[in-house]
Structure 1
């Protein structure tokens, strides 16, 4: 238990005088960090069979009780939790209505007050339910609440829908418990339909009101300023109050404007009861054969699926976690989130309203549906609780076959907005939400699809595959669909739990749960930044600055509602430090801002940076875009100085030694230049070792050309002018040339070339160096994360430092990973236990290979363990792509294919500084 609430407290959810509003008194805490200790007994598993204390709300497994299960209740399926809690009821509440509200209990909850049943057993874990306990209470005295919670439901359809599902199966009172105290005449709830054109309709459900009374409403902005006049109606069951407003600000995820409506029951004596409900003016509509529209604008969902889960607390969360998740979602430039696979905490939806995200709210049903009686009850509980959130734009009736078709029309019974109902995964109701389509299938949809297309799950992540890998091709193809509405990635975070029974390690259920773009504690993976660039609402597609760059950049506005006049752009020019200078990474040469640009959504134009030709004295240009709320959208970077120019600047030795020393012994040839000895194996032509005068440096076994057989036919070594040349000659499947040039006062240069005649997973050269001696690397290139052929976007040109790690993405979380491909290499310093050395790339678009990523322990296939040249250090012009959980890379689109044969000879050179 973290912070504990030692006493109940009042939370006032409306306004006016104390007697006229709903009183909320919490019996539990409010979230995972604010809990109340209740008496608890677990019937099976850990710490079972004895009464102890447990924090409420919580999942009992996370506090040392019971049994952990993933996917279904395999162990101790009949495990139950017994709760007791004493609470005092104010004598002043006599004559009022007292409701006990449970925001979420897993799974069956049998509630008694003072030994009497509060009502029928509630079945269904993720839904708010309440009992009128007025006649059961002892006023002015202590009362006893008892709850028997069964993890497995007595209703087998609930078990099929909720407890045989691809997520952790917990137990417990995991959301708050509280009392609602209202007068005899009260407003039970409202259901609002506030259109983008200002037309306002609200169903008001009151209890006990008579025709002599009045239901009155007024709308205010969030500062309390009245909007228009008050309006009223005579009470009746679900009476509709209507009004027309002008000059309102609509809600959308880019400008999430909100209002409050204050609703009161009045009589001659004044206000009897009043509530306040937040809402937004917003129209959501599906147009079959066209698209999905919000406020008349065709919407493209850039979305992600989100489980409600935290490693130390299971499904009991907090406002801070909700804020963190929404912040991460918006930082990736997403505008939508799908609730997988159950309705979330109400606080999460409140934040989606205020911060701006489209939401797909989902009835649980993971590949199996509730029976019709249960489904009807839970649909009502879902919609009644969530109906007034403007962020919710679609209802999901189950998932992947877990839909009960008999209740498709039930959502509209409680939703005056009549939001569209979908079946995620199915072609249904004018929508096609197919999960995990292959790229070629998307192409087919583009050509022949007749439904509004938006996969509610795609690019299934696992370990380092999926998510950003392949997304660029998918997204470009999906945007060609005339009726596209975007899509939702699977999923936001790795669903790992801290297992006290496994030495507090994080369990991700093998290859089942580690599916996130971020880790269990929201550690960012490389795909996070790829998605951020691909889904940036501002696109600058220029990959390389032209020779005659005039300070203008092509820009496209991919916002839905925002003119780029509301955004701002800053730029800076930097000069990078030398590899030997570890005290700094860069020096800022100049900064400035771009001229404001008037560009409507969907338009393209030119961004003028207002900088002079002096930019050529810098090494790189950065441009950062900020939205209207000053949130960074993305930073683009371009090299100005080329790798060849930078290598030339550093191609000097401070104290050259003019004379060469040549030694030959057996199969070894050693050349000493500027006091450093380079040893070659004359049988294969490889560099075998370097001695810097103090220590051996174990760089060797290269350059080895990857992927084709080569046999040494000659080992030529000769002087040429001031230089000494070592030139192995090879014959093999493909042409491969190698030439080492040693010249006093300059760095040794390796020139190599190859002519690739075949499709390859990767193409380049490698060397070996003992992994156990590598401590880190510092390099200039695009980083800091590793890349794959189909995940190149999102990285920033700069100098990066990474200490050695053996992170396996999704099984450990020390990011960024050390091993793998690294893009746009200028130079790299290999930090090691022998002596650090630096290698300069003298060509553009060189990929550094740093060792080989370890295969995930729980990998069920090779999709996310693509071919690699070995546990080597290499320099490549082509690299391998990576697949997803379900798809090999070859099915993910053009960027995910093998590398095609090269047109002509590739020539590369690198310099070595030991």
Structure 2
């Protein structure tokens, strides 16, 4: 029996031994590091308390920055690498220079690859050199290796101390040598690799050599939805510490029930007990940025015996009265200084880090911070910069956090890996909750038995990545939840990781969307609103959370309001994180235009496999420009919510949705507008406690009502003082209410000098002229082909467009990209599909393309001219339209031309009955070159759609036509404005057309046809037409979230029911105040 057991053990051990011997470390899942230091919390060493308080590392003699210019060699295959480059005397003088940190693909070595699920290498773990299809980028570049070399001089202050070499981030595997001696090996691209190099460095000049592999077995756990790039992309530096030093510490707090007192626990782990002398440690704690000339009394003071070996951390406790609590709303932060002295009292090292008193718990189906239920108003964020890729600068991180605060985002999920430590420090200081996610995603292996979460040999790789993240980030108060990874399936490895993590840190809940059984919250991705709301009604002790929702790809983020109505209805629904923060676009030079760049997406570098622009899902552009999507998020996420009560008496309800802070930190402002023009304004008090709702009275005076005008009450909350992230006066919350005044219909002035209209009707055209204008209709086209007023041509058609009409059928093609098109109104049902119109290959977009809705051909069924009087002429046209794919639509136009020069347009559109959603129903027309200014009374100022307009306020706005475009990385429908009462398009002198709606309408004004937008893959490919292209719609399909999630909700969909569109076109003469004094007509 014993012999059998020994033989069995031998059989089990031999495969591992053979594998370890035959495969390099970077193809062996059982070897994740060699000689790497254990993970520790983030701290930096200084020589004095004065230095440490500044947190300015340039002052510290115990820190040496190794960023900068390195010598660099790159090969596409490991067999081609310079094998002995680390040897002393090896000549690297002829090598290239490369800045560190950086991603080598963005410096001209190989190309970046974007793929979502599909591995860019073979899916045969742990092997990385298996053959791939010929079209794969990896076929050309099997496994590039970057060899780095730099020299450094060991600072004088490092003498007779320990020296630590720290890599904050290297992708994906590396070997390290100092002065020709091999130091170690490391995987896990998103966490630090630290090595004790004390016995390898020497006084004076030293040589550091690093060999980095683009692909390794670790790449199987790094299959995130992002660009695949490589290199030393985060900071590299040396630290000097005493021979015996505090290498890791954890500050934790437990509270009495009312949080008036905390028991502060210090868990201290030491290393390097080679000294015989005793050391004394003092721990100081004071509010961040508020240290006086003299340090306060230490909260801990203790001695350690250098002659002893401490196998377990030492535990120290202290009682703290009335601690200032940390939350995202009120981020009270403390600075921690830990001073190490020898027995003579000499300071050997001062370590500096931050700490916040904060408690996280789950109870009553909710997430609680410091005894208050909170909602997660979050985003997912990739580490990405359009210029530097993964090498994100501190300035870029700061910009992100400032934007989070400005746009009411309180949570970030570090999708899908730990970020740079500096990012967590910013979240601590500015107040952002963090869901810290481990660098574990094996999406390309699926979620079945082949998923690496089920494979025992991969358990150490899973667990170590998760636990090392926890050890590094455990002191950050901003981290309120650990996430085991993303889209890596269930399995025993996640069970083991959850057990280990909960044992080590029971103070924070665990999240993992793919295996909710091992997590403390139920997490899902991209539910529809109805299903999501139903989860709120369930009697489940775990809170319900959307780790990804509202997929923000392109022109998106529809019906965000409905998600948050559900969240505030059901306490169990704790919020969600929008996917995602910023487009993952990378700058690339425009072909044949040296020095000009565009934002590239997958495939633009020739990378394969690719998922194209699926990397562009951001609320911001890649270069962090503000978008209409982000404006909507700001409005929906705001923590002051306004509702009407008794508007006639100025009463509104204000709810403070904060969990901790009073609204009295803000200044309340109100204004009354008349058709968008402010006529009254004032201030209101904002003393409303956290979680409270109060009725406020706005002390406005009822205005003198003018017929046809609308009156709105606008309210704003603005910062009363400067914050780190915005200046005083910044608007953080707002609301708008239409006042229920009965102003009556407008009284249209009678023109006392009437001039009879002259009608010339012949076979092909009908010309109607007045004293100041001429309008020409084409019988063949069934619409206006020319309109001029006081010498200004407002609409004009190239006659070749009319001559192109098929004589036998009467058909004319409208939205082609040809030079000759009809300028006047013509039926339009097409929008350039937004990314959400494609639901993983489904959705209505493919149907629109199959039907070719962009190219309707029209046949005039009837055309009639009725002269109702000497001063009014009606032109009626019945038009049948058909697309090449067979979709049909019937249109009935009635144009009413009056003596004043105005033209009424009354359109009824009856589409074919189909079982798919239509894009829009309305018309398209074109104004000649020079009409560049757009003014409107309606929702604005930013782009808005029927399911994304909560943030848009009714007002008067003006923009140039070029400013009506949006910077979507792939062109698509853009520029829509909803709830429009009137709009005007004018030239630089003020001449143009004012369109006055009888019912609310949508419009856009661009220099592109819808088909232009659809055909272009990038903005630089768009032709800027000289004409101004107008689309005017009665109905427009909502945006939804269908690029990865549900499409538009039912109330925002568009079916085949007939619609009416009615407005009046008023000619405008040049002049400063050229817009007609008219309200929305009845």
Deviation at 1:77, TM superposition (A): 3.3
Q: Distance in 2 between matches of 1:396 and 1:111?
A: 30
Change (3 A) 1:887 1:320: closer
Change (3 A) 1:203 1:309: same
For residue 715 of structure 2, the aligned residue among 623, 634, 641 is 623
For residue 876 of structure 1, the aligned residue among 998, 1018, 1033 is 1033
Change (3 A) 1:857 1:478: farther
**2:72 corresponds to:** 40
Q: Contact 1:529–1:794 (CA<8 Å) still a contact in 2?
A: yes
Q: Contact 1:652–1:746 (CA<8 Å) still a contact in 2?
A: no
Change (3 A) 1:684 1:604: farther
Segment of structure 1 superposing worse, 324-333 or 97-106: 324-333
Q: Deviations over 1:703-731 (max 9, x none)?
A: 759699997667252244x7313152759
For residue 830 of structure 1, the aligned residue among 977, 985, 992 is 985
Matched, 1:633 2:732: yes
Matched, 1:424 2:513: yes
Q: Contact 1:185–1:273 (CA<8 Å) still a contact in 2?
A: no
Q: Deviations over 1:636-689 (max 9, x none)?
A: 45567999999868x798x96623212111142222123211223456753332
Alignment of 1:450-529 (within 5 A): 450=540, 451-465=542-556, 468-499=557-588, 504-509=597-602, 510-529=612-631
**2:251 corresponds to:** 192
Deviation at 1:393, TM superposition (A): 0.6
Segment of structure 1 superposing worse, 390-399 or 503-512: 503-512
Alignment of 1:64-213 (within 5 A): 64-71=108-115, 72=120, 74-75=137-138, 76-118=141-183, 120-139=184-203, 141-153=204-216, 156=217, 158-162=218-222, 164-195=223-254, 197=259, 198-207=262-271, 208=273, 213=279
Q: Distance in 2 between matches of 1:799 and 1:627?
A: 25
Q: Distance in 2 between matches of 1:854 and 1:425?
A: 41
SS in 1 for 2:221: helix
Q: Contact 1:384–1:414 (CA<8 Å) still a contact in 2?
A: no
**2:409 corresponds to:** 334
Matched, 1:220 2:286: yes
Alignment of 1:623-772 (within 5 A): 623-627=715-719, 629=723, 630=728, 631-637=730-736, 658-682=755-779, 686-692=783-789, 694=791, 696=793, 697-698=795-796, 700-702=823-825, 704=827, 715-720=864-869, 723-728=871-876, 739-745=894-900, 747-751=902-906, 761=918, 765-769=922-926
SS in 2 for 1:275: strand
Q: Deviations over 1:374-401 (max 9, x none)?
A: 3343334322221111000111111012
Deviation at 1:265, TM superposition (A): 3.9
Deviation at 1:104, TM superposition (A): 0.8
**2:48 corresponds to:** 15
Q: Distance in 2 between matches of 1:352 and 1:173?
A: 24
Deviation at 1:351, TM superposition (A): 0.5
Q: Distance in 1 between matches of 2:279 and 2:162?
A: 19
Matched, 1:801 2:959: yes
Deviation at 1:40, TM superposition (A): 0.9
Q: Contact 1:396–1:423 (CA<8 Å) still a contact in 2?
A: yes
Q: Distance in 1 between matches of 2:613 and 2:52?
A: 55
For residue 936 of structure 2, the aligned residue among 752, 760, 779 is 779
For residue 702 of structure 2, the aligned residue among 609, 613, 616 is 613
Change (3 A) 1:648 1:105: farther
Alignment of 1:257-296 (within 5 A): 257-266=332-341, 268-270=343-345, 271-287=347-363, 290-296=365-371
Query: Any unmatched runs of 5+ in structure 1?
Result: 1-9, 30-35, 577-585, 860-870
Deviation at 1:330, TM superposition (A): 2.2
**1:556 corresponds to:** 655
Q: Distance in 1 between matches of 2:1011 and 2:657?
A: 36
Change (3 A) 1:668 1:400: same
Q: Distance in 2 between matches of 1:433 and 1:213?
A: 48
Q: Distance in 1 between matches of 2:52 and 2:601?
A: 50
**1:28 corresponds to:** 66
**1:7 corresponds to:** none
SS in 1 for 2:939: strand
Change (3 A) 1:670 1:300: same
TM-score normalized by the length of structure 1: 0.84
Q: Contact 2:664–2:685 (CA<8 Å) still a contact in 1?
A: no
**2:35 corresponds to:** none
Alignment of 1:305-320 (within 5 A): 305-320=380-395
Q: Contact 1:185–1:272 (CA<8 Å) still a contact in 2?
A: no
Q: Which has the higher helix share?
A: 2
**2:684 corresponds to:** 594
Q: Distance in 1 between matches of 2:177 and 2:825?
A: 76
Q: Distance in 2 between matches of 1:107 and 1:731?
A: 63
Q: Contact 2:173–2:185 (CA<8 Å) still a contact in 1?
A: yes
Deviation at 1:874, TM superposition (A): 4.2
Change (3 A) 1:772 1:727: closer
Q: Distance in 1 between matches of 2:108 and 2:750?
A: 64
Deviation at 1:786, TM superposition (A): 2.7
**2:320 corresponds to:** 245
Q: Distance in 1 between matches of 2:566 and 2:936?
A: 35
Structure 1 vs Structure 2 CA RMSD: 4.0
Change (3 A) 1:559 1:739: same
Deviation at 1:315, TM superposition (A): 0.9
Q: Contact 1:808–1:856 (CA<8 Å) still a contact in 2?
A: no
Q: Distance in 1 between matches of 2:859 and 2:696?
A: 51
Change (3 A) 1:355 1:659: same
SS in 2 for 1:381: helix
**2:472 corresponds to:** 385
Change (3 A) 1:738 1:471: same
Q: Distance in 1 between matches of 2:52 and 2:963?
A: 62
Number of paired residues?
856
Q: Contact 1:474–1:893 (CA<8 Å) still a contact in 2?
A: no
